[in-house]
Homo-oligomer: A and B are copies of this chain.
Amino acid sequence: METTPITVRAPRGTTLHCKGWHQEAALRMLMNNLDPEVAEKPEELIVYGGTGKAARNWACFHKIVETLKRLENDETLLVQSGKPVGVFRTHELAPRVLIANSNLVPRWATWDEFRRLEALGLTMYGQMTAGSWIYIGTQGILQGTYETFAECARQHFGGTLKGRLVVTAGLGGMGGAQPLAATMNEAAFLGVEVDPERIQRRIRTGYLDRMSTDLDEALALVLRARERGEALSVGLLGNIADVLPELVRRGIVPDVVTDQTAAHDLRYGYIPCGHTVESAAAFRENDPKGYEGAVLDSMQRHVEAMLKLQELGAVVFDYGNNLRGQVADHRGMKEAFRIPGFVPAFIRPLFCRGAGPFRWAALSGNPNDIAVTDQAVIETFPHKESLVRWIRKAREKVRFQGLPARICWLEYGERAEMGLKFNWLVRKGKIEAPIVIGRDHLDAGSVASPNRETEGMKDGSDAIADWPLLNALLNTACGASWVSIHHGGGVGIGYSIHAGMVCVADGTEQADFRLERVLTADPGTGVMRHADAGYELAIQTARERGLDLPMITG
């Protein structure tokens, strides 16, 4: 059995290595996930998100490839936590691959037990799009942040952040997408960061416009940009727990305040006031307990200032780093939860309309294929301003990693429309090779995650996990090309159950049939889940779009 690690890059072009485009797409996307341009640690098969992997080990990788190559058009390959375990005869309209990753019986669903089983070679951590073969690089993070800011703009500022000031902290791996996402929404942006190297890196990669080491200078820049309605991002060297209280003292109220320091980790994620990265490292080492105390002191000042700015009229939200939980649990600051989480605040209304992270990749490898699809999206939805703005900016600013790809949020109805249009473009030869269409598991109907996506559901159904399972079963019934059920993505083992789907537009009529069903049903489960939870917007969407929800529209 072949077990050698290799450097992987998906084949390009129109030559099939498999017996059909569904299998070929799975093959190329598996390989694309492991392309060194895409994956964090390809030699360990790690794609992203801690240890999110694409295959259990190299022997399994090679065997998956071999099996996909011989898989018939009425057969289905089963993948159990990154290992190809069986091939069964199904039928043409069935998925070619069915995947279950990292799932454990709940009583045993802890990191300890998971790691024990992983060490025995029995499982792997699939994250969301790593083990389900539809990761497309950091474009996803940029776009998620962009969409969050865009929804904030729609809810509070008439659809744009033009003439608005966003203040946040943390320009790290994820947080570094904030300045670009903000300026793409036309905002003036101030990002406070203690590590000068991080600020410089964001400038080098085109995510940030300017660096400043002086608060007065930085404020002058962003306040003027706000006045003039200019998009400008400034990275200020400093500590957010100093800067935010100072804004309060000066009576400067930003329009939007959030935070992406790595506050979820008291030991390594948050630098206390008065420290550089280096001095903090020494402090941490010499006096770990004292260090955590200092971190919490700073966090407390930080959150107090956020609450004060909220009172003064700023739109303040938590961006999924558990800053609220830290001061609530360790300092009794229950009032921190007056700051809303970003999903309930901004993403849930999108979910109610069945909107979510629609993404696609060009199997040809030809960037022009994505240009054609970009154009098609703009022409199909010219009235959707923030969408059009996103596509234009992404075209300009986003460098492809691996196979050319795009992401944008589309609603129920829009996804099926777009899928059919892509399929038509393939059929007409406007696009060189088939397009593969998928999404993140973080979507309207495909995830149960009480600390993130399903936090604070209206009816209290945060922990009900039937919904993502129904989503996966339904996508299988509709004929997606591959379908996956995962456990523990995003928030870790024990904390989430979620499902993925991918569907191929190869230009055939059968693809029309499958895409129409999958891309209707899949976001449809999102509208359904939120309507069932009692969200008026979802109920209204269901009625307007003619969804069939027996207990609601029946």
Interfacial residues, chain A to chain B (CB-CB below 8 A): 1, 59-60, 63-64, 66-67, 76-78, 80-81, 83-91, 93-95, 98, 100-109, 113, 117, 120, 122-123, 448-450, 459-467, 469-470, 472-474, 476-479, 483, 485, 487, 493-497, 513, 517, 520-521, 524-525, 528, 532, 547-551, 554
How many Å lie between the Cα of A106 and that of B90 in the bound state?
31
* Residues of B close to A83: CB separation below 8 A: 532, 551
Contact B466 A84 (CB under 8 A): no
Q: Quick check: B460 and A95 within 8 Å, CB to CB?
A: no
A67 near B554 (CB under 8 angstroms)?
A: yes
Q: List, in ascending order, chain B residues with CB within 8 A of A532's CB.
A: 80, 83, 85
> Which B residues are CB-close (under 8 A) to A472?
469, 473
> What is the CA–CA distance of A66 and B548 in the complex, to the nearest angstrom?
13
Name the residue in A1, A117, A122, A497 with the highest tally of chain B Cβ atoms < 10 Å from its Cβ. Answer: A122
> Which single residue of chain B is at the shortest CB-CB distance from A552?
B85
A546 to chain B, nearest CB (A): 11
Q: Is the CB of B466 within 8 A of A80?
A: yes
Q: A463-B104, A479-B91 are in contact. Are A98 and B474 (CB under 8 A)?
A: yes
Give the complex CA separation of A436 and B289 in angstroms.
Answer: 65
Besides the contacts A80-B532, A84-B550, A105-B462, what 6 more A-B pairs have beta carbons closer than 8 Å? Answer: A94-B478, A107-B109, A107-B495, A123-B464, A465-B487, A469-B485
Q: What are 12 sample pairs from A and B whose C-beta atoms fall under 8 A apart?
A: A63-B550, A78-B525, A85-B551, A90-B477, A91-B517, A94-B479, A100-B470, A101-B466, A105-B463, A105-B465, A117-B463, A469-B485
| Given A89-B521, A460-B122, A551-B84, CB of A103 within 8 Å of CB of B466 | yes
Give the complex CA separation of A98 and B468 in angstroms.
Answer: 12
Given contacts A466-B81, A470-B80, contact A517 B89 (CB under 8 A): yes
A113 to B59, CA, bound (A): 41
B528 pairs with A85, CB closer than 8 A: yes
- Interface residue from B462, B465, B493, B551 paired with A60 (Cβ < 8 Å): B551
List chain B residues, Cβ under 8 A from A485.
Answer: 469, 473
Copies of chain A in the complex: 2
Q: A495 to B105, Cβ gap below 8 A?
A: yes
B-side contacts of A461, CB under 8 Å: 117, 120, 122
Are B477's CB and A76's CB within 8 A? yes
Docked CA distance A450–B104 (Å): 10
Q: Which of A67, A83, A86, A89 has the most B CB atoms < 10 Å from its CB?
A: A86
Which chain B residue lies CB-closest to A120? Answer: B460
Task: Kindly list chain B residues whose C-beta atoms are within 8 Å of the C-beta of A470.
Answer: 78, 80, 85-86, 98, 100
Residues of B within 8 A of A520 (CB): 88-89
Which of chain B's residues have a CB closer than 8 A to the CB of A59?
551
Residues of B within 8 A of A466 (CB): 80-81, 100-103, 123
Give Cα distance in the complex from A67 to B470, angstroms: 17
A384 to B284, alpha carbons, bound, how many Å?
A: 71
Task: Report the minimum CB–CB distance from A267 to chain B (whole Å).
Answer: 22
Taking a contact as CB atoms under 8 Å apart, the answer to whether B105 and A548 are in contact is no
User: Are B104 and A464 within 8 A (Cβ)?
Assistant: yes
Task: Give Cα distance in the complex from A47 to B473, angstroms.
Answer: 25
B-chain residues with CB within 8 Å of residue A554 when the two chains form the complex: 63, 66-67
Which residues of B are found within 8 Å of A474, using beta-carbon distances? 76, 78, 88, 90, 98
> In the complex the two chains form, what is the Cα distance from A466 to B85 in whole Å?
11
A131 to chain B, nearest CB (A): 11
Q: Which residue in B108, B449, B460, B548 is a CB contact (below 8 Å) of A88?
A: B548
Q: Return chain B residues, CB-CB under 8 Å to A84.
A: 550-551
Could you say which residues of chain B place their CB within 8 Å of the CB of A100?
Answer: 465-467, 469-470, 473
Report the minimum CB–CB distance from A461 to chain B (whole Å).
5
Asked if residues A87 and B469 are in contact (CB atoms below 8 Å), the reply is no
Q: How far is the CA of A83 from the CA of B554 in the complex (A)?
A: 13
Contacting residue for A473 out of B66, B476, B549, CB 8 A:
B476
Alpha-carbon separation in the docked complex, A495 to B86 (Å): 26
Is there contact, CB below 8 Å, between B450 and A95?
A: no
> Cβ of A67: which chain B residues have Cβ within 8 Å of it?
550, 554
Tell me the nearest residue of chain B to A91, going by C-beta.
B93
Complex: how many Å from CA A528 to CA B87?
Answer: 10
